[in-house]
A and B are shown apart, each in its own frame.
Chain A
Amino acid sequence: GAGVSQSPRYKVAKRGQDVALRCDPISGHVSLFWYQQALGQGPEFLTYFQNEAQLDKSGLPSDRFFAERPEGSVSTLKIQRTQQEDSAVYLCASSFFRTGSTDTQYFGPGTRLTVL
């Protein structure tokens, strides 16, 4: 019954390291979204899953970014060879899915990634 959870809440990485960010959506939510929020900006779309299928990854900024949701529940966003410009808050959101309609997205608290 809890909301969307994300871990870790804070991550500091040295440039060139790989990181993995985890998202636990609300139970029963079919749709899962990842967003990137730079300091002082609105969130920007990264990628979208419907169950385990990644239907849209058009927002991923480079091939260093990779997301998966193998069992249609928990999702992991992986960033390889981190760069300073990857520093941001990464938000996960989930929602129900109904054909032809749109349900509200519920957001997690985010993971603040700082790349030194």
Chain B
Amino acid sequence: GNSVTQMEGPVTLSEEAFLTINCTYTATGYPSLFWYVQYPGEGLQLLLKATKADDKGSNKGFEATYRKETTSFHLEKGSVQVSDSAVYFCALSGRTGANNLFFGTGTRLTVIP
């Protein structure tokens, strides 16, 4: 079946620190992989995606590389800002049904000045 295992939080970093949030997955076939971000009181927003092995998704300084050999899609940012404080969700699309997404449990990031 399809599942996503995500790094437990919460994560607290100082501004300008390096961020890694680990994500590994189990899937049949070749899923697409996503990172979504949820700011307080809001819905989820797509942060980045990768649709095939070795693809790198990037947006707003965040990056993640689709690693088929390690079934991973770790999120990284070189220098976090206070405005990056949010909950981050890793997700995969199982290519069944109507583009259904399978989510990890989310990682809360707090960046302190």
On whether the two chains bind one another, the answer is no
Residues on B lying within 8 angstroms of A by beta carbon are none
